[in-house]
Amino acid sequence: MAVSPIHPDNIVAAWMQGSLQAIIAAVSFDGGKTWRPVPIPLTTCSGGAYLLTGDQWLSFSSKGDVYAIAGVSNDKDLSERRGVVVKSSDGGLHWSAPHVVPGSDSVDAPADHPSLTADPWDARFVYAIWDGSATASSGAAVFTRTTDGGATWEMARAIVQTAEDGSIQFSQIFALPNGTLVDLYESTESPPNKPPTLARLQLLRSTDHGQTWSAAINAVTMTPVYAPNGNTLVVDPKTKKPVQDPTNPSFAVDGQNGHLYAVWEDGRFSNSQYNDIAFSMSADGGSTWSVPIRINKTPFNIPSANRQAFLPAIAVARNGTIAVSYYDFRFNDTNPGVATDRWLVQCHPSSIAVPNDAACWNSELRLTDKSFNLEAVVPVAPYGIFLGDYFGLASVGDAFVAVFTQPDDQRITSIFARRVGP
């Protein structure tokens, strides 16, 4: 999800429709009160030329143009895929034809999980980055940019790569108020076909709009509870079957002071019994990071399986308030199904309340009107129960808009938006 910096009531959210069949954008011009669905013309289902698409990401430029990047493929097994960028100059109602990002189908292919960041200070620059594979058993972050508002894109190139048995996931670029770019990402080390033995957040810096990048800097060590397949471990509290839960952290930057924030699932607060939502921050551009703290408000006086918190998203409002959304099972009981809810917790930083103090995170709101049954989610082969990879949360002035998925009693999953604040 993305919000226009010049027309804050203009919000665009996007999701994958069906099994990689199309990407649908939802456009609001009234701050999230009403929405208009707009298919993005990528696949044959939506007026485009490709067979499959997914992994969409949105970003508004300082001029109010909104860009979207996604992976596309004409191979049913996704063995060959590339990144494409589309642009809308009317707030998301109409989109350009897709522009193939040079090298996205040949440099460290296949391109996976792209993200996109329009420079908030200079509309000429938009930065794209995705997870690649330097070799068969190592990973890379692959970067490209436009310097002319999307008319042309530079050839993609790896700006960091791991050692053997390593991988990079969820790279995302942020622009600090002083113009420095920071690429935050998760780096893992995993023996073949086994869960990671080391997971940490790392970052790179660039002071020349992405022409050159620093060496990797270690930020925070992560200690998620992993499933045997390497995904973060979330289980159905009743059946104990795994819930597909990719290990994607979520990042944000305060555009006023440049503070960087990160949240992820972590087992350190429960002696690795289950995952909570961990938070860490940097007030010096990423050089140093605070000790991780638990910020989800899931009660302790319930069975441990119901304390699992997962799939977090983070955003920062104009006034510096930080919000984090997540799912948990706190209302699960002996009735059939698994009661699941989406929540939002906030921190209002001040001279006496700092974000790296758990006491600051004392304002929680239930985003779901009522609990939904997790087991009503239609399984997606080969993933099983799969709510999604990552979820939208964005600031609208001093308010927040959260986007999340929820099935109904007929097992139809829909996208919901909830505004919190003024």
Q: What is the pLDDT of residues 293-333, one digit of tens each?
A: 999 999 999 999 999 999 999 999 999 999 999 999 999 99
User: Which tokens is 32 given?
Assistant: 């999230």
**Torsion angle of C-alpha atoms 73, 75, 81, 84, degrees rounded to 10:** -10
Q: Which of 60, 403, 14 is nearest to 419 (CA)?
A: 403
Over residues 198-222, the pLDDT tens digits come to: 999 999 999 999 999 999 999 999 9
Residue that has been written with the tokens 């002696």 in this structure: 271
Question: 51 with 76: CB under 8 angstroms?
Answer: yes
Q: If you average pLDDT over residues 273-290, what whole number do you get?
A: 97
Residue that has been written with the tokens 């959260």 in this structure: 402
Is the pLDDT assigned to residue 110 strictly greater than 70? no
Label residue 304 exposed, middle or buried (CB < 10 Å: 0-12, 13-18, 19+). exposed
Per-residue 3-state assignment (H helix, E strand, C coil) for 173-210: EEECCCCCEEEEEEEEECCCCCCCCEEEEEEEEECCCC
Q: What gap in Å lies between CA 95 and CA 68, rounded to an integer?
A: 9
Is the pLDDT assigned to residue 133 strictly greater than 90? no
pLDDT in the model for residue 377: 87
More confident residue, 242 or 365: 365
CB atoms within 10 A of CB 149: 18
Over residues 36-52, the pLDDT tens digits come to: 999 999 999 999 999 99
Number of residues that this document lists for the chain: 422
Question: 184 with 174: CB under 8 angstroms?
Answer: yes
Q: What gap in Å lies between CA 50 and CA 399, rounded to an integer?
A: 37
The set of residues, in sequence order, having a beta carbon less than 8 Å from that of 244 and lying 6+ positions away, is 231, 380, 383, 384, 385, 386
Q: Which residues pair with 396 in a beta bridge?
A: 399
pLDDT in the model for residue 389: 85
More confident residue, 379 or 273: 273
Q: What gap in Å lies between CA 137 and CA 321, rounded to an integer?
A: 41
Q: What gap in Å lies between CA 145 and CA 209, rounded to an integer?
A: 9
* DSSP letters spanning 92-122: TSS-PPPEEPTTTTTSSSSPEEEEEEE-SS-
User: Which tokens is 191 given?
Assistant: 């023996």
